[in-house]
Amino acid sequence: MEVSAQTSDLEQIQSWKDEVNVTRESLRSMRSHLEEIAPNKKDEDSLAQVEHFQNQFIRQMEVADEMHHDLKQSAKKISNNGQSLIIHDDRPVDDVDVMLDRMQTFRKLYNELQEEFKGFSAFS
């Protein structure tokens, strides 16, 4: 029974890693699109929005990188049957339920950023 739960957790973590990779690629695409439309933005409000999105893309990419790293560590811990000690005071990786909660937050923040950027870039 332990093996199937372990396999299921590993499959879930791999799915999340794939999702994080897709998100990273999407962020790169949005950043590229922002670079294309930024020269057309001349007014002060638009320039502030461009800077806002630049900062948000940087931060979201940092979070995505952290998530990817932590998911790899979580998979490693599960694969080793909990024998390796992995400690992140600020980012626990040893509990699949905690990682699920983090993924849900990651998705929510990414989706909000994506929708906000769609609204901004639609007026380009």
pLDDT per residue as tens digits for the range 61-110? 999 999 999 999 888 888 876 555 555 555 667 688 889 999 999 999 99
* Residue with more model confidence, 90 or 7: 7
Instruction: Determine the topology of domain 2-121 in CATH.
Output: Substrate Binding Domain Of Dnak; Chain:A; Domain 2 (1.20.1270)
Q: How far apart are CA 13 and CA 75, in angstroms?
A: 7
Torsion from C-alpha of 89, 91, 93, 96, nearest 10 degrees: 130
pLDDT bracket for residue 1 (50, 70, 90): very low
Q: Average pLDDT, whole number, for the chain?
A: 88
User: What's the distance, CA 23 to chain centroid?
Assistant: 6
Q: What is the pTM of this model?
A: 0.84
* Residue with more model confidence, 2 or 63: 63
Is residue 40 within 8 A of residue 124, CB to CB? The reply is: yes
Q: How far apart are CA 107 and CA 5, in angstroms?
A: 24
Q: What is the pLDDT of residue 79?
A: 81
* Residue with more model confidence, 80 or 118: 118
User: What's the distance, CA 33 to chain centroid?
Assistant: 19
Return the domain boundaries, the chain.
2-121
Provide the strand spans (E) within the chain: none
